Amino acid sequence: MHQLLPYIPAFPILGFLVLSLFGRKLSKPVIATIGAGTVCLSALITIILGFSFLQTEPPGGVYDQLLWSWFSVGNLSVDIDLRVDALTLVFIFIITFVGALIHIYSAFFMWHDGDYARFFASMNLFVCSMLLLVMADNLVLMYLGWEGVGLCSYLLIGFWYEVPSNCRAANKAFLITRIGDTALLIGLFLLFKEVGTLNISGILHQAPDQFATGSSNIVLITILLLAGGMGKSAQLPLQTWLPDAMAGPSPVSALIHAATMVTAGVYLIARMHVLFQLSPVTMVIIAIIGALTLFVAGCSALAQTDIKRILAYSTISQIGYMFLALGVGAWSAAIFHFFTHAFFKALLFLAAGVVIEALHHEHNIFMMGGLRKRMPVVFITFLAGAAALSALPLVSAGFFSKDAILWYSFSAANGNPLLWLMALAGAFITALYTTRLMLVVFWGETRTPVHRQPGQGMVIPLVVLAFLSVTAGFIEWPHNMLHLTLFSAHVQKVLPETLLKTTLPSESLFQLIAALVTLAGVFLGYILYYGKPGIRWQQSPALAGIREFLFGGWKFDQLYNFLFVKPFVFITRINKSDVIDKMYNGIAQAGLRLNSWFSVSQNGSLRLYIVGVLAGILFIITLQLLL
């Protein structure tokens, strides 16, 4: 079975090569077949691989395929080596399966775009990089994938590059994630210096012998790795790029900025869990960052008016939940939330894309309205996604994963009532803004007419994802309901079990509270937004300041502008003519001066030139005779 591994990333890279080299000459149906077909093939192979993995577990729980040796310097040798264990299997399933659905959707969504081939080439390259990231056996190869997905994210955010603001958003995403990437790279160097290998299983094996728990080295390394994860996963304080990244096409937001790339940080931390367990301080930091992020981003989502920005902030908030779960040591709960989140958030973005297309590229939710009757399929699928996002009890996948995180944030050994309260507040806010989004977009009166209904090719991915958004949670039930824990049993082949506190209150009580809070959020949204055409309470001046503050994402952009951009511009301005510049300017000045002196001699008189030549010859001969 392990011979199949290389084909999973090979098909997308093949698609990328064909489309980028010959894309201009191919017709649109051929491009769509290559672009979506390669990813579908990868998904097929992944599913075959997954079945065989689940039926007969390979020795050591790992499929391993060494392709070739990449480079070897001194005592560092890096191989191109693919490795699939239980954790990676979850990720490659999401990447290829959700990726394939999104590619099929994009084939129809992007049909009228002039740069069809470039879009699919970038998407295929992204899928390949993301697969390399999660399948890499060593951290160097993982870093290659890590940078590859960053590059593709940049290319696809700026896909419509004619609009300057899109290019700015792409630059912003690239630069801010680069801060995290640099920290990650330094972390990898430090890790290599300490452990002497970059092989993942080698590191995980040696780390407990190498580092004492909580020693300064391991704390530094894990914090640097965490910073890398924070950049990619848009966690506080590096979250500001994700809302702007919505400048890209909707399928890009669904694939890169909801389902896969932004969870790379979660993967990194889960993959290196042994290191993080050795550093309890970092675990606490992860949990706090997650809790703060989910709250901050959730509040921002409340005030947004752009449908995609609402979803972007909710993505940041949901990844905050994953970080919170990682931080309290609920590894499998974090990965489970990643699993369900990929389905419902991809679904929401794709459905939002359909709505935006149908309404002449209208992004403002207050210009939509009344779509329930006119786009029933989109309404039902969006409802399934929204139910999962707000974690409606028992009928949505989001409930099972989020409930587990809420429970563990209190009950896990590292858990804390404060973290639980933050997560609970986040759950309330999530339900509130999801209800607001649903009611404003799908109920009320029509404000913009529907000009195009989505085609079959776009509806089918929506329906599949909607089905999964409802049912994907049923593979993992809370302990007090059903003894069905397929997912955590699977993931815990790699990740450690969640340690619980010794004395605990009843889990059912917590579930009841979580469910009530969610329903309260939905109810509040219903009171505030149902059947309120003018939504007058929003215009009150007392709230305007708060709304403005939240609309700007807690003014982080302005803060960074003030803290970093302005001083930087100031320093560069006063340093514009420094010593080194003076040297180069001096060379240029001297050249000009010499030119003006000697150009006098170029007067066109042939005789003078001959005299010059003669004088030169005489000078050289004299010199020769004298010396």
Partner 1 sequence: MIDSAHMVLMVATVLFALGLVGVLTRKNVVFMLISVEIMLNAAGLAFVAAGSKWQQPDGQVMFLFILAMAAAEVSIGLALVLQIYHQHKTLDVDRLKELRD
Whose Cβ is closer to partner 1: residue 572's or residue 596's? 596
∠ CA 252-254-259, rounded to 5° = 120
- Decide if residue 543 touches partner 1 (CB under 8 A): no
Whose Cβ is closer to partner 1: residue 584's or residue 597's? 597
In the complex, what is the shortest distance from the CB of residue 607 to partner 1, in angstroms, rounded to a whole number?
6
At which residue do the structure tokens 């699993």 appear? Answer: 339
482-to-75, 152, 340, 391 alpha-carbon distances in Å: 51, 42, 19, 18
In the complex, what is the shortest distance from the CB of residue 625 to partner 1, in angstroms, rounded to a whole number?
16
In the complex, what is the shortest distance from the CB of residue 602 to partner 1, in angstroms, rounded to a whole number?
4
In the complex, what is the shortest distance from the CB of residue 615 to partner 1, in angstroms, rounded to a whole number?
12
Whose Cβ is closer to partner 1: residue 163's or residue 611's? 611
Contacts of 55 (CB under 8 A, 6+ apart): none
How many residues of this chain bind partner 1 (CB under 8 A)?
A: 11
Binding mask 572-611 for partner 1 (x = CB under 8 A): ---------------------------xx-xxxxxx--xx
| Distance from C-alpha of 531 to C-alpha of 257, rounded to nearest angstrom | 33
Whose Cβ is closer to partner 1: residue 68's or residue 598's? 598
Radius of gyration of the chain from its Cα atoms, rounded to whole angstroms: 29
Q: Could you report how far apart the first and last alpha carbons of the chain are, in Å?
A: 84
Whose Cβ is closer to partner 1: residue 395's or residue 611's? 611
In the complex, what is the shortest distance from the CB of residue 601 to partner 1, in angstroms, rounded to a whole number?
8
In the complex, what is the shortest distance from the CB of residue 616 to partner 1, in angstroms, rounded to a whole number?
14
- Decide if residue 614 touches partner 1 (CB under 8 A): yes
At which residue do the structure tokens 């699919």 appear? Answer: 120
Amino acid in the structure at residue 433 = Y
| Distance from C-alpha of 514 to C-alpha of 297, rounded to nearest angstrom | 19
Whose Cβ is closer to partner 1: residue 506's or residue 596's? 596
In the complex, what is the shortest distance from the CB of residue 610 to partner 1, in angstroms, rounded to a whole number?
6
| Distance from C-alpha of 98 to C-alpha of 95, rounded to nearest angstrom | 6
In the complex, what is the shortest distance from the CB of residue 25 to partner 1, in angstroms, rounded to a whole number?
51
In the complex, what is the shortest distance from the CB of residue 597 to partner 1, in angstroms, rounded to a whole number?
11
H runs (alpha helix) in 196-234: 200-210, 216-232
40-to-54, 83, 325 alpha-carbon distances in Å: 21, 21, 32
Which residues from 128-187 bind partner 1, rule CB under 8 A? none
Closest by CA to 392, choosing from 355, 344, 356, 359, is 344
Closest by CA to 215, choosing from 278, 287, 282, 286, is 278
Which residues from 344-403 bind partner 1, rule CB under 8 A? none
The answer, yes or no, to whether the previous bond of 496 is cis (omega within 30 of 0) is no
Closest by CA to 442, choosing from 379, 358, 388, is 379
Long-range pairs of 105-108 with CB within 8 A, sequence gap ≥ 24:
105/251, 105/254, 105/350, 105/353, 105/457, 105/458, 105/461, 105/462, 106/35, 106/36, 106/249, 106/251, 107/32, 107/35, 107/36, 107/457, 108/454, 108/455, 108/457, 108/458
Whose Cβ is closer to partner 1: residue 68's or residue 597's? 597
- Decide if residue 625 touches partner 1 (CB under 8 A): no
For the residues of 381-413, what is the DSSP string, one character each? HHHHHHHHHTT-TTTSHHHHHHHHHHHHHHHBT
Binding mask 551-570 for partner 1 (x = CB under 8 A): --------------------
In the complex, what is the shortest distance from the CB of residue 618 to partner 1, in angstroms, rounded to a whole number?
11
For the residues of 283-319, what is the DSSP string, one character each? HHHHHHHHHHHHHHHHHHHHH--BHHHHHHHHHHHHH
Whose Cβ is closer to partner 1: residue 114's or residue 604's? 604
Whose Cβ is closer to partner 1: residue 361's or residue 607's? 607
In the complex, what is the shortest distance from the CB of residue 570 to partner 1, in angstroms, rounded to a whole number?
45
Whose Cβ is closer to partner 1: residue 606's or residue 623's? 606
Binding site for partner 1 (CB under 8 A): 599-600, 602-607, 610-611, 614
